[in-house]
Chains A and B, each alone.
Chain A
Amino acid sequence: MDLKRQASAPLYEAIERFRKKRIVPFDVPGHKRGRGNPELVDLLGERCVGIDVNSMKPLDNLCHPVSVIKEAEELTADAFGAEHAFFMVGGTTQAVQNMVLSVCKAGDEIIVPRNVHKSVINALILCGAIPVYLNTEINAKLGIVLGVTVEQVEKTIQEHPRAVAVLVNNPTYYGICSDIKGICDIAHSYGLKVLADEAHGTHLYFGDNLPMNSMKAGADMAAISMHKSGGSLTQSSILLTNNGMNADYVQTIINITQTTSASYLLMTSLDISRRNLALRGRQSFAKVSEWSQYARDEINSIGGYYAYGKELVNGGTVYDYDVTKLCVYTRDIGLDGIEVYDILRDEYDIQIEFGDIGNIMAYISIGDRIQDIERLVGALAEISRIYSKEEKRFEVDRQMLLPRVLASPQEAFYAEKIKMPIRDTKGHISGEFVMAYPPGIPILAPGEEITEEIIDYIQYSVEKGCSMQGMEDSALEYLNVLKI
């Protein structure tokens, strides 16, 4: 990374120049610097609506960047150690989908962890490729999905010669990392591409003592949620490519679904955030890691809570752990994560990232203040003092069932379906998702064969109190299956 070059922000500077020129707008957007929509100006401020403008020569065009956006993307690629970077304004969902669309076509197989983000399956509906699932282990106590091992990936590649790519979460929402370097090496040795979903990993590029980022590990593409740990505006994201991927082809793929009126607020926020990360990211994330660790230690000393960290690392399914994540297991105080999540918001005015059955996650970032972390810890101590109940917990199974994929997500999506009592669905092909939380892995996905075992497992999950999601009939008496 060339630090001297990184000090510039070409798109931001172009926007500043543009602002000072006071150009008379006879183009879209029709609010014309806000003058046509005073309430919007009241809400957002003049500076904000003043740069909500359309593509024009001095500001370049995201669909075919040739000047300031191109330079900003080049600086981004340099900062992330990639060959090419694409600014995305449709969220990391769009970045993930474009990775998949760039390497898969109809009939290809793509190897993905079973807990893959929905956006990947949706991309497969678009392109007609077929998922091959890696069985993911589960931490039985915490009820969270772990990473995948190199051995598992290699075995799956050998069993699926038609597979063209492997997709890896780096890290997962909960901070779990697989051996991404090992996976890249093995996948490349069989001629497969590696796609990294780094929706929760922007900071891995700018911190010391953090898990390895995918570009360094040798991945071919990565989707980066700049708006999460990177500090840019919500919905702005980045797609990275490496290893000689054809950038023009990727741009063509992106342009199929990307807006032709990309927001300069979003793009400028990417440019400024990239500069900020390049120049000050290392100090910022050192602070974030330090605060997360402080919070972990303090929360663990309250008693009852378990704020987990590096001790989960086992060299395989947890190859590394991202210590900036602050996840806390709450069931030993007799409360579900979701209950603690609700109490924090309703009674203590603290909004955290999520609560599931067993865990809560508080997002610690470059925008935090130590006094707010003290509030969070103080509130958790109070919740334990006031609300804790007799233990209630169940363990989830370590291993999930992996069904046979009989139809591609595309076929299953467009196929005619019929509603059937769940007990009678044996031998049919599922037309919808069935997920159990915890651990939030699909038991069934569209296109998968329904077996006796799966029906039993679904009923077992319902009985033990998992929250069942993804299906049309939330009571799970009926299931949509493909009409044969």
Chain B
Amino acid sequence: MEFWFSELHSPHVKFDIRVEKQLFSGKSDYQRIDVFESPEFGKFLTLNGSVIFSEQDCFIYNEMVVHVPMAVHPDVKNVLIIGGGDGGVSKELLQYDNIENIDIVEQDSMFVDVCKEYFPETSIGLDDERVHIYNYDALRFLRSKMNEYDLIINDATDPFGASEGLFTREFYGSCYKALKDDGILVYQHGSPFYDEDEDACRSMHKKVFHTFPISRVYQAHIPTSPSGYWLFGFASKKYHPLKDFKADEWKKRDIYTEYYTTNLHTGAFMLPKYVEELLEQEEK
């Protein structure tokens, strides 16, 4: 028997993963959630038919959204994660002793429950006493926050699904307001390769670039993402991701990683020419 999960990465490109079995399927108030077991990627979770993370490659973006800002900002105490209901990002953050509080805003409580049941090794990152989960709409949560966070990580990935409100100018503006004067926002910047993704990527950069004084983009290779290539955004009021990068201090912390290194940190901001160009076009 052949059993495949398929996802369209563009209207004309399909990405298939051989599946051993489907572990869960359910519809929450916001989206359809499925969990599969596969030989290549281990267990993986999809929202409305798009892969959100797999056991095999989730370490890449969890590390990239956490260690890059943590090696730049000298003293992060208060963090907000938006859409981090799987716990992967907070698990990574919890390695840092100076972090005092992590707020997670995940409006879909079913998503949290499914992650706890099927990905207990990841969702362990939700159990620490420093972590607080809020089942709120992120825009609503942010409206009353002003000058509170050192770091905001937007873990939502899909600008066309239930989280489309998290790719809007009002969202980035609200993050700006919620951050302290030296705060950093890191967000999923999508994949620049296919046409439709490129448009979303451009419009995201345009909005953030005009909201924050510093706005840079960095990259990673993530096999389950469209074209296997993924970008992240680094937006900040004060710190530049390379000029204020404190490699030696970060190394002293002795953080365990599998993807991130201080060499990779610098390299991740060196973008291919076509990506540089499309970003620059949106900066005008």
Residues of A in contact with B (beta carbons under 8 Å apart): 298, 302, 347-349, 370-372, 374-375, 377-379, 381-382, 385-386
CB <8 Å contact, B164 and A378: no
A348 contacts across to B, CB distance below 8 A: 168-170
CB <8 Å contact, A381 and B143: yes
Per-position binary interface string of chain B over residues 131-145, scored 1 when its CB falls under 8 Å from any chain A CB and 0 otherwise:
000000101101100
Count of A-B residue pairs with CB < 8 Å:
50
B137 contacts across to A, CB distance below 8 A: 370-371, 374
A347 contacts across to B, CB distance below 8 A: 169
Interface residues of B in 146-186 (CB under 8 A from A): 162, 164-165, 168-171, 173-174, 177
CB <8 Å contact, A374 and B177: no
> A327 CB to closest chain B CB, in angstroms?
20
B142 contacts across to A, CB distance below 8 A: 378
> B210 CB to closest chain A CB, in angstroms?
9
A377 contacts across to B, CB distance below 8 A: 139-140, 143
Q: How many residues of B contact A (CB 8 A)?
A: 15
B171 contacts across to A, CB distance below 8 A: 378
Contact flag A378-B139 (CB < 8 Å), given A348-B169, A348-B170, A371-B165: yes
CB <8 Å contact, B169 and A379: yes
Contact flag A349-B168 (CB < 8 Å), given A374-B140, A382-B173: yes
Interface residues of B in 103-146 (CB under 8 A from A): 137, 139-140, 142-143
Partner of A382, one of B140, B164, B165, B174: B174
Docked Cα-Cα span, A282 to B151, in Å, equals 45
B162 contacts across to A, CB distance below 8 A: 371
Docked Cα-Cα span, A298 to B140, in Å, equals 9
Can you list 5 A-B pairs with a CB-CB distance of less than 8 A? A349-B168, A371-B137, A372-B165, A377-B143, A385-B177
Closest chain B residue to A379, Cβ basis? B170
B173 contacts across to A, CB distance below 8 A: 382, 385-386
Among A348, A374, A375, the most chain B Cβ lie within 10 Å of the Cβ of A374
B168 contacts across to A, CB distance below 8 A: 348-349, 375, 378-379
A349 contacts across to B, CB distance below 8 A: 168-169
Closest chain B residue to A349, Cβ basis? B168
Docked Cα-Cα span, A382 to B169, in Å, equals 9
CB <8 Å contact, B139 and A375: yes
Closest chain A residue to B142, Cβ basis? A378
A302 contacts across to B, CB distance below 8 A: 143
Contact flag A381-B164 (CB < 8 Å), given A298-B143, A374-B139, A374-B140: no
**Seed contacts A378-B143, A381-B143; 10 additional CB < 8 Å A-B pairs:** A348-B169, A349-B169, A371-B162, A372-B165, A374-B137, A377-B140, A378-B171, A378-B174, A379-B168, A385-B173
Docked Cα-Cα span, A249 to B228, in Å, equals 70
> B104 CB to closest chain A CB, in angstroms?
18
> What 10 A-B pairs are tightest by C-beta distance, nearest first?
A378-B170, A378-B139, A382-B173, A379-B170, A374-B139, A374-B137, A382-B170, A375-B165, A371-B165, A348-B169
Closest chain B residue to A380, Cβ basis? B170
CB <8 Å contact, B165 and A374: yes
Docked Cα-Cα span, A235 to B41, in Å, equals 53
Docked Cα-Cα span, A414 to B170, in Å, equals 52
Docked Cα-Cα span, A184 to B167, in Å, equals 51
A381 contacts across to B, CB distance below 8 A: 143, 170, 174
Docked Cα-Cα span, A428 to B25, in Å, equals 76
